[in-house]
Amino acid sequence: MKLTKMALLGFGTVGQSVVKGLRGDSFPSLQLTHILNRNIARKRETEAAGYAGPEVVWTEDIADVLDSDVDVVVELIGGSDPAATWIEHALRSGKSVVTANKQLIAYRGPELARLAAAHGVQLLHGAAVAGGVPVIPGMQQGLGGDQVVRVSGILNGTCNYILSRMETGDRYADVLKDAQALGYAEADPTADVGGFDARAKLCILARVAMQAELDPEQVATQSIAEVDAVDFAYARELGSTIRQVSKAQLLEQGMYARVAPMLVPLNSPLAWSHGTQNMVVSTGRMGGDVVFSGHGAGGDATAVAVLSDLLAVAQGSRAVHLAAEPKSVTGDSVAPHYLRFIVNDKPGIVSAISGALAAAGANIDSLLQRKGYPKQRLAFVVTTEPCLNSVIARAVDSTATLDCMIARPLALEMLVVDDKDEPTA
């Protein structure tokens, strides 16, 4: 059996899980020869280091890897620099690359894929989206024969953990602290809660599933930090819950793409995802809806995808690659919306809000007001008939200036389960 020699760049949570996965005789065709990391002496004291084997070269110098005879470089350090430079050098030297680097693949994936093809090697990134859930190979291999027109889902396990905890009554700040203590969220959680992590993954899925190259900076995002416990109470009255949803859909011209907390009907598969689970629903012209679901966070789950990519390289498997084209992006779509107001109650508030909505081009569908809130800080909700996100944004800007407002109004898109129409921008 031909051995495939591999080098591991990064010996953090995922890297250690990969080494543990290689122990024993489970993958006899894979041979780990190098591990690169900063402060290598400290890393060699970890439990996982004991599974690496005495023949492995531990190093802090990337030249030891790039100048070696390894067949595959596994990049798990993350970030754009120096990861991009190292990957480029590896590909140019005839080494295949397996990576979990979602930001790098989102921004520079097409360029790096062309570089890999030019040097006759592979660039695989199955671990960049949804951890151990085989979304990317499923899209490339299993759905390559369909024409996927829409991808939507829950792509960030941290946000799903936070929102599903808030669904039971916990406060955002408390749950965020728990998520950080458990290692689900970083000390600076902006990438997760702000939607930027999910945005990168959505751009990768758009390219793989719909052959659409998107500029991540053009994809609209909204933070989940704006969501409060009261919103889950009102969502339940509307037969819904709240999840961070990533959605991309082909239009006649360009592409709709958005990452935001949204009201999700309880009969939607997206509402069933709890904790750190990821879920992706793809919609094809021929095959209809296909659902991918599983644990998307954690070292072991991500290591499954890394090891699967390594096996694919070792066995000479080739992914289906369809030519992708750059697409313009809009975050504007027609949908019903949820608007939550917190006001100092006084006569004429509903009339003023209704007038502001009408002036912006939105019509009220319903008004909900739960008992138990003080008049000095009254929380109530208006839902609208379907209209553009941009219309609601103008309405929020207008109502935010009313002197009765205690806080800026919160606007959330409301998903419609059986909506098969394309967004209209």
Nearest CA to 95 among 14, 9, 28, 25? Answer: 9
Please state which of the four CATH numbers 3.30.360.10, 1.10.760.10, 3.40.50.1100, 3.40.30.160 is assigned to the domain occupying 135-295+321-330: 3.30.360.10
pLDDT at position 296: 73
What is the homologous superfamily of the domain 4-124 according to CATH? NAD(P)-binding Rossmann-like Domain (3.40.50.720)
pTM: 0.93
Looking at residue 1, its pLDDT comes to 63
> What is the separation of C-alpha 117 from the centre of its chain, rounded to a whole number of angstroms?
27
Among candidate residues 43, 95, 201, 327, the one labeled active-site is 201
* 201 has catalytic annotation: yes
In this prediction, residue 322 carries a pLDDT of 77
**Quick check: do 4-124 and 334-414 share a fold?**
no
How much is the pLDDT for 334?
94
Question: Domain-by-domain residue ranges, the chain?
Answer: 4-124, 135-295+321-330, 334-414
CATH topology of domain 334-414: Alpha-Beta Plaits (3.30.70)
Q: What CA–CA distance (Å, rounded) separates 89 from 281?
A: 36
pLDDT, block means (10 residues), the chain with 425 residues = 92 95 89 95 92 94 97 95 96 97 95 95 95 91 92 94 94 93 88 96 96 96 95 97 97 94 95 91 94 85 94 87 89 96 93 94 94 90 96 95 94 80 44
Q: What is the pLDDT of residues 232-279, one digit of tens each?
A: 999 999 999 999 999 999 998 899 999 999 999 999 999 988 888 999
